[in-house]
Amino acid sequence: MLTIAACTAEEPSVATTESGVQVPSWFADELERASGLQARLLEDGVVTEAELEQAFLANVACVEDAGYEVTVTIDPVMKWYGLDIEHGDQAGAAETAGDVLDQCRDDFFSLVLGFAAYQDQLSEEELAERDSAVIECLRQRGFDIEGNTREDLLRDTAEGSAALAYGECLRAEMAG
């Protein structure tokens, strides 16, 4: 059960769970549908890296339990959790596999991942600082980034070797 707290136009609306955890109201409906592992991991209002990985591995186990062979990729620095599955060439196999992936992700991972992304988002100032560091890294590697804004950065690294270098510089900056 969630209770919506009073809010003003300037402040984002907040919902409070039965256990007293405050979450953005847009996430409240999502939390109401949480059950099992996701509900337990979200009940304190904080998602740790270990909890995020636990939810992802439960997602993987669900897909494996459905009979699929899974290849897992985890990059804790970038907070990237990926899986590929072998689904065969039979008619409808890819669609069936997609349905399994969607159901397992919904049951075990999506809410935890969404909340982790929410809690870890950067402020505008932090984002600008990170972008400046990435732009400097790219310039040191010989890439021509025409300006100093996020839009300049994304425009000038949209494809090719610049896109790869952007990922490397971003990862280095996030790793600290």
Give the pLDDT confidence score for residue 9 in this predicted structure. 42
Residue 12 — very low, low, confident or very high, per pLDDT cuts 50/70/90? low
Beta bridge partners of 121: none
Q: Which residues are within 8 A (CB) of 2 and not within 5 positions of it... i.e. 6 or more apart?
A: 15, 16, 17, 18, 28, 31, 32
**For 14, phi and psi rounded to 5 degrees?**
-125, 140
Helices (H), 15-159: 25-32, 36-42, 49-65, 93-108, 110-119, 124-140, 150-156
Torsional class of 142: left (φ above 0), alpha (ψ -120 to 50), beta (otherwise): left
Residue-range domain boundaries for the chain: 47-119, 124-175
Provide the pLDDT for residue 37.
93
Q: Which comes out higher in pLDDT, residue 17 or 103?
A: 103
Backbone angles phi, psi at 83, to 5 degrees: -145, 145
What are the tens digits of pLDDT across the range 58-105? 999 999 999 999 999 888 777 788 888 887 777 777 788 889 999 999
pLDDT digits over 131-169, tens only?
A: 999 999 999 999 988 888 888 888 888 888 988 999 899
This prediction has a pTM of 0.71
Mean pLDDT of the chain: 83
